[in-house]
Amino acid sequence: MAQLWGGRFTGETDRLAYRFNASINFDKRLFHQDIEGSIAHVTMLAKQRILTEEEKESIVQGLQGILEDVNHGKLEIDDTCEDIHSFVETHLIERIGEAGKKLHTGRSRNDQVALDMRLYTRQQVQNTDALLKELLGVILAVMEENVETYMPGFTHLQKAQPVTLAHHYGAYFEMFRRDRQRMEDIYRRMNYCPLGAGALAGTTYPLDREYTASLLGFAGVTQNSMDSVSDRDYLIEFLAALSTVMMHLSRFSEEIIIWNSNEYQFVEIDDAYSTGSSIMPQKKNPDIAELVRGKTGRVYGALMSLLTTMKGIPLAYNKDMQEDKEVAFDAMDTVKDCLVLFTGMLRTMKFRKERMAASAMKGFTNATDAADYLAGKGVPFRDAHAIVGRLVLYCIERETSIDKLSLKELKEISDKFDEDIYMAVSLETCVAKRLTTGAPGPEAMREAIKQYRICLES
């Protein structure tokens, strides 16, 4: 019996093991980087006289031919090869023969994959930065238009003090600006070339690592060959920064979902970024904002996944590290889509400014200012706070607001109140008087906006 299926069973297991081990399905994404790295590598080998000029020429032409054929759809990256490195090398040898077999001189797949992934990630860091810049541009344009658009500011999701739309958006400008700074920082730290580290201990060939690094636009070379093939810190840093971008997008999405709710109606999301319900005809749902909020989880997941993969790996390269790719690619794709869609949604979203201002007038957002008014008339702030507390209670019982009380009613609570109280607790005054750096007062805001413009254009 065993004979009947034994051989076949072993065969099946081997096939599964092959599939389990192979990475071509996802590392084919590194095709361009693999070719670029190989061209730089052979250029350096020829300069060092490890390869002849003819061999180099033949290899470079072969590699460019493969690149063109794949780009033009004449050659397909299928799963007959184990990974993208074998795919390129196999096709090179097929095309140019003997010289092709010299491509891998002084190189291991370990430093090769370390390079490819670094090149790919480096580009992604730049792309993310460009998308963040675009988002900041949209945020700033809204700020410039809305320095005097009033809305309630919240703490604990309870109305706290009035702010402006420019001020509220300004908080997000700061967040995404820091995200850009993180990109810059990561780029600077990661921009060193690992090629030449070999499998783990360098090579015996007289490679000019600095030259290869300069061909590939790196600031220099990595310093320890064992670290070079097994460092994925830069990727972890990038995933952490992407997670932070998502956290910011998710908070913003949450606010938009609240603002878009029937109760608030502060905003109108454009039809292009909302969807309807299959059963309830009246619905216009903020799906894009909800999905951005929802997809935050998978980006955090990628970070946790890679941190966990790396935590028990002895030096140097181990196959576990192949697991960096799928999660990282997924996170990169997700953040890209989220940034593009979110920016589009923001660009087209309309504000219902009257509703926002009306909401800011309700909920005693001027209570602090009423207390400050009394303090200005010599009442110690703690006493003023208590007086206005009583005032608020008085208003709640009568379903009214501070500014609607008569002077007689106000004076019954404190004789320090005068005619000028009405001006002092108006929405405009409450905001206009907040002029310290970072506050919503229009003058302070205009100054901040000026700085933001400069920051965005530099």
- How, if at all, do strands 267-268 and 350-351 pair? antiparallel
Structure tokens belonging to residue 69:
């054929």
Q: Considering the candidates 156, 278, 406, 458, report the single residue annotated as catalytic.
A: 156
- The correct pick among 90, 105, 322, 368 for binding ligand ARG (CB under 6 A) is 322
Q: Which is nearer to ligand ARG, 25 or 48 (CB)?
A: 25
SS3 286: coil
Q: How far apart are CA 252 and CA 179, in angstroms?
A: 14
Site string for ligand ARG, 4-23 (x = CB under 6 A): -------------------x
Residue in this structure with the two tokens 């900041």, named with its chain if needed: 136
Residue 177 contacts residue 135 (beta carbons within 8 Å) = no
Q: Which is nearer to ligand ARG, 311 or 319 (CB)?
A: 319
Q: Is 269 exposed, middle or buried (0-12, 13-18, 19+ CB in 10 A)?
A: buried
Report the nearest approach of ligand ARG to the CB of residue 27 (Å). 6
Q: How far apart are CA 299 and CA 242, in angstroms?
A: 7
Residue 252 contacts residue 342 (beta carbons within 8 Å) = yes
Residue 330 contacts residue 29 (beta carbons within 8 Å) = no
* Listed ranges 141-149, 237-245, 317-325, 432-440: which one lies at the site for ligand ARG (CB under 6 A): 317-325
Q: Which is nearer to ligand ARG, 112 or 343 (CB)?
A: 112
Residue 218 contacts residue 101 (beta carbons within 8 Å) = no
* Listed ranges 43-51, 120-128, 163-171, 313-321: which one lies at the site for ligand ARG (CB under 6 A): 313-321
Applying CB under 6 A, does 121 fall inside the site for ligand ARG? no
Report the nearest approach of ligand ARG to the CB of residue 171 (Å). 40
Q: Which is nearer to ligand ARG, 199 or 456 (CB)?
A: 199
- How, if at all, do strands 192-193 and 220-221 pair? parallel
DSSP state of 403: G
- The correct pick among 38, 110, 343, 401 for binding ligand ARG (CB under 6 A) is 110
Give the gyration radius of the chain's Cα atoms: 31
Number of residues binding to ligand ARG, judged by CB under 6 A: 10
Report the nearest approach of ligand ARG to the CB of residue 85 (Å). 7
* Listed ranges 88-96, 105-113, 175-183, 443-451: which one lies at the site for ligand ARG (CB under 6 A): 105-113
Report the nearest approach of ligand ARG to the CB of residue 128 (Å). 22
- The correct pick among 113, 197, 310, 346 for binding ligand ARG (CB under 6 A) is 113
Chain residues 69-88 in contact with ligand ARG, contact rule CB under 6 A: 83
Mapped to the 3 state alphabet, what secondary structure does 79-121 carry?
CCCCCHHHHHHHHHHHHHHHHHHHCCCCCCHHHHHHHHHHHHH
Applying CB under 6 A, does 27 fall inside the site for ligand ARG? yes
Q: How far apart are CA 380 and CA 371, in angstroms?
A: 9
Nearest C-alpha neighbor of 170 from the set 389, 444, 457, 458: 444
* Listed ranges 200-208, 255-263, 318-326, 436-444: which one lies at the site for ligand ARG (CB under 6 A): 318-326
* Listed ranges 106-114, 236-244, 249-257, 347-355: which one lies at the site for ligand ARG (CB under 6 A): 106-114
Q: Which is nearer to ligand ARG, 110 or 309 (CB)?
A: 110
Structure tokens belonging to residue 127:
């792309």
Does the annotation count 168 as an active-site position? no
Q: Which is nearer to ligand ARG, 23 or 58 (CB)?
A: 23
Maximum alpha-carbon separation in the chain? 104
Within 362-435, where are the H helices?
367-376, 381-398, 407-413, 421-424, 427-432
Q: How far apart are CA 417 and CA 411, in angstroms?
A: 6
Structure tokens belonging to residue 416:
């320090």
Q: Which is nearer to ligand ARG, 124 or 401 (CB)?
A: 124
Site string for ligand ARG, 34-73 (x = CB under 6 A): ----------------------------------------
Distances (CA, A) of 176 to 135, 185, 437: 8, 14, 19
Q: Which is nearer to ligand ARG, 113 or 328 (CB)?
A: 113
* Listed ranges 128-136, 220-228, 314-322, 343-351: which one lies at the site for ligand ARG (CB under 6 A): 314-322
DSSP state of 30: G
Q: Considering the candidates 167, 228, 261, 277, report the single residue annotated as catalytic.
A: 277
Q: Which is nearer to ligand ARG, 264 or 329 (CB)?
A: 329
Angle at CA 237, nearest 5°, toward 211 and 252? 130
Does the annotation count 72 as an active-site position? no
Applying CB under 6 A, does 109 fall inside the site for ligand ARG? yes
Applying CB under 6 A, does 111 fall inside the site for ligand ARG? no
Q: How far apart are CA 3 and CA 165, in angstroms?
A: 77
**Which residue numbers are catalytic?**
156, 277
Question: What residues line the site for ligand ARG (CB under 6 A)?
Answer: 23, 27, 83, 109-110, 113, 317, 319, 321-322
